């Protein structure tokens, strides 16, 4: 039986995680739940999964929950301190972080420090502080479990290598569905709306990541995520558009062999593999019907129409605090686009302008990263 602390339980990944846990009551048990502010959904989850500890990040919402729980004896925490408590609680074996954006970074460090296996579903913590997270995990001899579908695919292809990745892997190939605006010209993208941008053709996801998929920033973030998770140099990670989204990513080996992971688009599968690792369990995810797929196609990404991909990759090569700045500026740019305050094409422009004003610190520690993050957020709001 594995005990799980889930950060971000009311979001899309959080709910998929709970349905994996629900389907395997003899294997997984919820020990703690954390949410930002969605108290009504959390109340239902508390009833069903009976956690020993909950955290509501927003203090006012936490107060509402305490009132609603009445005399029921359940510890309700709030803020970053609350998240850290959830992350290091002695009863849990795995901490799954599915918060939005770079939120949850401190909790991830607390969990690793406490020796927990950590599943990181929001890629932003690895993007801004991947070198520190992986170093800490090596020191504490614990696992960072990939949850993102592409990274789960690569991880599955790398099983049984016994750590010989460096000598045997030539390239990682991240596949991208291309998002809702695949094939469009810049002219056609001038006036696209938030509701068009979040209407992803293959995956149902939260709003932030849906916009990132539409700009291809998501794939840029995933390149850095893969670099840290698998310790592969950035220049050996490629991106390929694969519209059918049947292959979730591939590994090319030095001898010319390729391995790919194929499955239907359902986040329950990578989540379950991370939770059951190193075992594989039955799942409710339907099997692929190859006769209905007909063909698998591959194309180069259109880097001119979707400049976020190259913007991200050149920022990763630069390193230092620049990745944190790009990430923070992107979070604000996406929020402003969703609010109708910025055009779709304005997203990369805004990020570029913030990056141009930043003086990058090399080999930053966590405080320098957090400083760069809040500086970039302010700049991105102000411009």
Q: Which of 128, 116, 322, 118 is nearest to 228 (CA)?
A: 128
Under DSSP, is residue 161 helix (H, G, I), strand (E, B) or coil?
Answer: coil
Closest CB to Mg ion among 84 and 215?
Answer: 215
- Interface characters, 179-218, with Mg ion (x: CB under 5 A): ----------------------------------------
How many residues sit in the footprint of Mg ion (CB under 5 A)?
A: 3
Closest CB to Mg ion among 86 and 239?
Answer: 239
Q: How far is the CB of 30 from Mg ion (least distance, A)?
A: 24
Closest CB to Mg ion among 84 and 149?
Answer: 149
Q: Can you name the residues that pair with 4 across neighbouring β-strands?
A: 30, 94
Q: Cα separation of 120 and 136, whole Å?
A: 14
Residues 6+ apart with CB under 8 A from 367: none
- Interface characters, 123-152, with Mg ion (x: CB under 5 A): -------------------------xxx--
Residue nearest to Mg ion (CB): 148
Q: How far is the CB of 72 from Mg ion (least distance, A)?
A: 38
CA atoms within 13 Å, Cβ hemisphere of 245: 16
Under DSSP, is residue 252 helix (H, G, I), strand (E, B) or coil?
Answer: strand
Q: What are the DSSP calls for 34-47, one per residue?
A: EESS-HHHHHHHHH
Closest CB to Mg ion among 85 and 150?
Answer: 150
Closest CB to Mg ion among 150 and 331?
Answer: 150
Q: How far is the CB of 339 from Mg ion (least distance, A)?
A: 24
Q: How far is the CB of 235 from Mg ion (least distance, A)?
A: 21
Q: How far is the CB of 164 from Mg ion (least distance, A)?
A: 26
Instruction: Count the neighbouring beta carbons within 10 Å of the beta carbon of residue 282.
Output: 8
Closest CB to Mg ion among 150 and 379?
Answer: 150
Closest CB to Mg ion among 51 and 301?
Answer: 301
Q: How far is the CB of 203 from Mg ion (least distance, A)?
A: 8
Q: How far is the CB of 292 from Mg ion (least distance, A)?
A: 23
Q: Cα separation of 233 and 239, whole Å?
A: 14
Q: How far is the CB of 286 from Mg ion (least distance, A)?
A: 20
**In the numeric block, which tokens belong to residue 56?**
């509501």
Closest CB to Mg ion among 200 and 336?
Answer: 200
Q: Looking only at residues 230 through 289 of this chain, which bind Mg ion when binding is defined by CB under 5 A?
A: none
What residue spans of the chain are helical by DSSP H? 12-23, 39-49, 59-69, 79-88, 105-113, 124-139, 149-157, 165-168, 186-189, 194-197, 207-215, 217-230, 268-276, 290-293, 308-318, 322-338, 346-356, 366-382
Q: What are the DSSP calls for 274-295, one per residue?
A: HHHTTS----SSPPP-HHHH--
**In the numeric block, which tokens belong to residue 37?**
């502010």
Q: Which residue has the tokens 């729980």?
A: 69
Q: Provide the binding-site residues for Mg ion, judged by CB under 5 A.
A: 148-150
């Amino acid at each position: 039986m594995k005990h799980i602390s889930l950060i971000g339980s009311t979001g899309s990944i959080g709910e998929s995680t709970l349905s994996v846990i629900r389907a395997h009551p003899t294997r997984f048990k919820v020990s703690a739940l954390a949410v930002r502010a969605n108290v009504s959904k959390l109340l239902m989850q508390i009833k069903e999964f009976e956690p020993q500890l909950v955290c509501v990040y927003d203090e006012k919402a936490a107060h509402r929950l305490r009132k609603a729980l009445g005399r029921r004896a359940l510890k309700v925490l709030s803020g970053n301190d609350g998240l850290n408590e959830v992350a290091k609680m002695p009863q849990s074996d795995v901490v799954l972080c599915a918060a939005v954006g770079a939120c949850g970074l401190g909790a991830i460090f607390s969990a690793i420090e406490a020796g927990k296996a950590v599943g990181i579903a929001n890629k932003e913590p690895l993007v801004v502080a991947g070198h520190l997270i992986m170093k800490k995990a090596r020191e504490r001899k614990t696992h960072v479990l990939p949850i993102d579908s592409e990274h789960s695919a690569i991880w599955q292809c790398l099983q049984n290598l016994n750590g010989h990745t460096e000598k045997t892997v030539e390239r990682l190939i991240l596949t991208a569905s291309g998002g809702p605006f695949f094939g469009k010209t810049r002219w056609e993208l001038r006036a696209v709306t938030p509701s068009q941008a979040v209407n992803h053709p293959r995956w149902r996801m939260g709003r932030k990541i849906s916009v990132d998929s539409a700009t291809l920033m998501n794939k840029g973030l995933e390149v850095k995520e893969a670099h840290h998770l698998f310790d592969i140099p950035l220049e050996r990670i490629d991106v390929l558009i694969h519209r059918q989204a049947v292959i979730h990513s591939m590994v090319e080996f030095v001898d010319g062999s390729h391995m790919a992971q194929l499955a239907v688009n359902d986040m329950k599968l990578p989540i379950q593999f991370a939770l059951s690792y190193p075992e594989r369990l039955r799942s409710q995810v339907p099997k692929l019907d190859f006769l209905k797929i007909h063909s698998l196609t591959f194309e180069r990404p259109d880097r001119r129409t979707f400049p976020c991909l190259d913007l991200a990759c050149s920022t990763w090569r630069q390193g230092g605090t620049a990745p944190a700045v790009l990430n923070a500026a992107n979070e604000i740019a996406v929020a402003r686009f969703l609010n109708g305050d910025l055009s779709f094409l304005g997203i990369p422009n805004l990020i570029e302008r913030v990056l141009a004003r930043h003086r990058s610190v090399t080999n930053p520690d966590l405080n320098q990263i957090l400083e760069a993050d809040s500086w970039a957020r302010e700049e991105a709001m102000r411009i």
